């Protein structure tokens, strides 16, 4: 009887541990790069959104996208009614963006960690038709993490709509 009780308790503990770990990851691409403006609006904005073909963006609180992340803003930038850039800027000390990015994109293509307790860590993932960046900066008691997921065509298309010559 004691043997079965130990197995039962162990199973419950493992269930809670695995459940907790699953919630600590965040899929920042709830709407994938290249997705249509309509799919984004249906998921996050509703009928109040614009249908412009020009460059424009939406700011969404991160807690609407990731349960365990708070107080950051996720900016979704659209060009030609397609998503081409996602930017997250977070000033919280306890958010672990690197862990989530590694879970969804694997090990970084390149990058470097901090040499000590302060400084800049930089990571880059080269993915099919997009790039993913993480910059994690610690200075004293403050921390800033910036995640950018960007399509390979973002610069070209944004220059087109800003009327800047690409010479």
- Residue 105 in tokens: 């994109």
Domain 2-161 is found in CATH 1.10.1760: no
If the chain, 167 residues long, is cut into consecutive pieces of 10 residues, what is the mean pLDDT of each piece?
57 49 72 89 72 79 83 90 94 85 96 89 95 94 94 89 58
Strands (E), 40-129: 56-61, 73-79, 82-90, 110-112, 119-127
User: In which element (H, E) is residue 40 found?
Assistant: helix 37-40
Is-above-0.85 flag for pTM? no
């Amino acid at each position: 009887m004691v043997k079965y009780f130990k197995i039962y308790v162990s199973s419950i503990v493992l269930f809670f541990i695995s459940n907790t770990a699953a919630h600590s990851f965040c899929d920042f691409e709830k709407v994938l790069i290249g997705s249509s403006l309509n799919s984004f609006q249906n998921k996050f904005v509703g009928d109040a959104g614009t249908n412009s073909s020009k460059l424009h963006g939406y700011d969404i609180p991160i807690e609407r996208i990731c349960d365990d992340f708070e107080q950051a803003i996720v900016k979704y930038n659209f060009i030609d009614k397609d998503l081409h850039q996602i930017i997250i800027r977070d000033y919280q000390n306890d958010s672990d963006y690197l862990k989530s990015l590694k879970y969804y994109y694997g090990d970084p293509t390149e990058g470097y960690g901090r040499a000590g307790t302060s400084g800049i860590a930089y990571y880059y993932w080269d993915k099919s038709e997009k790039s993913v960046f993480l910059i994690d900066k610690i200075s004293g008691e403050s921390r800033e993490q910036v995640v950018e997921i960007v399509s390979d065509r973002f610069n070209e298309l944004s220059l087109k709509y800003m009327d800047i010559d690409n010479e």
